[in-house]
């Protein structure tokens, strides 16, 4: 019986430990973590290596710009405050013989949002 009670006691203490972490500044009270993703899949126009690299860089930079603008949409709709806390951007070029190269890009954005 004691073996079962110990894990149960540990499970019951997790919400209290999580509350303490939030009070220590990891997440402001009243806020929620909000995340969203942006994806793009487009044929590449460039045919040479340098042109493809420049095109990939341009897509990545556009994803950076769009990522930091995510708060604007939330503030216009459901958020009283919004702060971007993390952005992860990646791109990948897919090449198939006889087909145009395609670029796939994605941005994952995490924000701390206080709802209206």
Q: What pLDDT does 6 receive?
A: 38
Predicted pLDDT at 101: 94
Q: What is the pLDDT of residues 54-79, one digit of tens each?
A: 999 999 999 999 999 999 999 999 99
Q: Which CATH architecture has domain 28-115?
A: 2-Layer Sandwich (3.30)
* pLDDT tens digits for range 2-16: 344 334 334 344 444
Burial letters 25-54, b for 16+ CB under 10 A, else e: eeeeeebeebeeebeeeeebeeeeeeebee
* Residue pLDDT, tens place only, 41-58: 999 999 899 999 999 999
For residue 67 the two structure tokens come to 């990522």
What's the pLDDT at 29? 53
Joined tokens for residue 102? 């395609």
pTM (2 decimals)? 0.68
SS3 sequence of 40-100: EEEECCCCCHHHHHHHHHHHHHHHHHHHHCHHHHHHHHCEEEEEEEEEEEEEEEECCCCCC
| Spatial separation of the C-alpha atoms in residues 18 and 22, rounded to whole Å | 6
């Amino acid at each position: 019986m004691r073996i079962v009670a110990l894990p149960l006691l540990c499970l019951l203490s997790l919400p209290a430990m999580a509350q303490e972490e939030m009070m220590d500044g990891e997440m402001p009270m009243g806020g929620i973590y909000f995340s969203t993703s942006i994806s793009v899949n487009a044929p590449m126009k460039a045919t040479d290596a340098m042109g493809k690299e420049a095109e990939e860089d341009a897509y990545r930079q556009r994803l950076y710009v769009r990522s930091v603008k995510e708060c604007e949409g939330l503030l216009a709709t459901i958020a009283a405050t919004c702060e971007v806390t993390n952005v992860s951007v990646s791109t990948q070029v897919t090449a198939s013989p006889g087909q145009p190269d395609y670029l796939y890009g994605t941005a994952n954005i995490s924000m701390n949002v206080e709802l209206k």
